Amino acid sequence: MTVFQKVPVPSSTDQMIVFPFEYSLKKFQFHHYSPDVTDERLSKSELESFFEDIHSILKSSGLLFMITLLNIFSLLYIIFLIVIVILLIYFLLGNNHDGSFLFIFMGMKIVTSTIVYFTIRYRTKISRNKVMHFLKQQDEKFGAIGLRWNLPEAFPKWIELWKDYLNGSTGIEITSSREELASLRKSRENRENNYQPPSYY
């Protein structure tokens, strides 16, 4: 799938959080996220840092540039249609024109559309592979807190964060409630504050 295909972005559920891609801003949107929805397992700053890395990958792979080009092309496409309609009307009115300009503009539209289409498909594939590699590197980090990132077939339209800790499908023991997690954090802080270095004398 590519950015050309009209695939509706799904809504978030109790098991999964959806972060849609905003094409006008060329960024994934996460302003709706609150740490409460992951039981305080992922902070807003950690999520922001994660998406900064994702956006850097999309930029380095050339996809963000192609999305900018696509926005420009969409405007040019409308202009092409207007020109073609005007030329078609002018030709049908019989003003002694052979319609060559009409065919030239139609040919330009077809060639340009084809180039943009295949270029974006190529860049999308490269970006997807790079993001997938990055997510695999993050598996241990997020898996330790019971979370897992997933790329849909419609990437980059959205990206998913699955809350695996709700199903207990994680390799380590994960607390099941926010209260238990807060208690563990407080206990850890107390141990750190009360720590006394060993005496050798």
Q: What is the 3-state secondary structure (H, E, C) of 54-108?
A: HHHHHHHCCHHHHHHHHHHHHHHHHHHHHHHHHHHHHHHCCCCCCCHHHHHHHHH
pLDDT reading at 200 higher than 70? no
| Residues 107-144 pLDDT 10s | 777 887 788 778 778 878 888 888 999 999 999 999 99
Residue predicted with more confidence, 175 or 99: 99
* Domains of the chain, residue spans: 16-193
Across the beta sheet with 147-150, the strand order is 27-28, 16-22, 158-163, 147-150
Which pLDDT band, with edges at 50, 70 and 90, does 99 fall under? low
For residues 181 and 41, is the Cβ–Cβ distance under 8 A?
A: yes
Query: What is d(CA 28, CA 47) in angstroms, rounded to the nearest whole number?
Result: 11
Residue predicted with more confidence, 92 or 11: 11
Model pTM? 0.64
pLDDT reading at 171 higher than 70? no
How much is the pLDDT for 63?
74
Could you give the percent of the chain with pLDDT greater than 70? 71
**Burial class (CB within 10 angstroms; exposed 0-12, middle 13-18, buried 19+) of 66:** buried
